[in-house]
Chain A
Amino acid sequence: DAGVIQSPRHEVTEMGQEVTLRCKPISGHDYLFWYRQTMMRGLELLIYFNNNVPIDDSGMPEDRFSAKMPNASFSTLKIQPSEPRDSAVYFCASSLAGGLANTQYFGPGTRLTVL
């Protein structure tokens, strides 16, 4: 199994630009999570989906952030417009209901730098 796939791995953009991060979960998993990690705030849950439906988006920092999951094998996290404070590593994770400890499998992350 290829694991959770994220693209791009690195993104450098200028303030005000739109950024789209992509995620392909592990096949068969029914939960998908988007996290943001910074030194100051650690790993924060932004939003998660169950069977492609958003369940909890209370961690989305503001309206500039949006996430979609059009099908079971693809999700996007979009930031528009981007700001320097959005610079962080963004992780996507997936899990299977009923799996051991509902283990979340993380992707390699997208390192975003907003100049």
Chain B
Amino acid sequence: QKEVEQDPGPLSVPEGAIVSLNCTYSNSAFQYFMWYRQYSRKGPELLMYTYSSGNKEDGRFTAQVDKSSKYISLFIRDSQPSDSATYLCAMRAGGTSYGKLTFGQGTILTVHP
């Protein structure tokens, strides 16, 4: 079993829809949770970052972490064609594993006009 599970999709939605992307994980040591966005033929770039449980909002994006369920989500409101990309969740433990991130498989999202 992988430490981080993410449905690869693909997910196709119309412009303006609310998108929900999710990951589950098994390692209870994970404390830092991130979402990366990767456009086609580009490297991933950090989109959202959350420490421990709770919600974080940034414009049209909301990240949620539920550590009790080992479940994280990314919501995109009023989705745009420019949001079409692969979204990867990533997480890491604290302490000495400072640098090491574990990524989900990535979900391919297409927003069509």
Which positions in A face B, CB cutoff 8 Å?
Answer: 4, 31, 33, 42-45, 48, 50, 55-56, 91, 93, 95, 97, 100-109
Which positions in B face A, CB cutoff 8 Å?
Answer: 32, 34, 41-46, 49, 51, 88, 92, 98-106
Contact B43 A55 (CB under 8 A): no
Contact A106 B103 (CB under 8 A): no
Chief secondary structure at chain A's binding surface: strand
Contact B44 A43 (CB under 8 A): yes
Q: Which residue of B lies closest to A31 (CB)?
A: B99
Partner of A106, one of B45, B99, B106: B45
* Distance in Å: Cβ of A24 to nearest Cβ of chain B: 14
Which residues from B are CB-within-8-Å of A31? 99
Partner of B99, one of A4, A102, A109: A102
A48 and B100 in contact, given A42-B105, A43-B88, A43-B106 (Cβ under 8 angstroms): yes
Which residues from A are CB-within-8-Å of B100? 45, 48, 56
* Distance in Å: Cβ of A9 to nearest Cβ of chain B: 10
* Distance in Å: Cβ of B3 to nearest Cβ of chain A: 12
Which residues from B are CB-within-8-Å of A44? 103
Which residues from B are CB-within-8-Å of A95? 99
Contact A93 B43 (CB under 8 A): yes
- Ranked 5 nearest A-B pairs via Cβ: A106-B43, A101-B49, A42-B105, A43-B103, A31-B99
Which residues from B are CB-within-8-Å of A103? 46, 49
Contact B32 A48 (CB under 8 A): no
Contact A108 B106 (CB under 8 A): no
Which residues from A are CB-within-8-Å of B46? 101, 103-104
Partner of A107, one of B43, B101, B103: B43
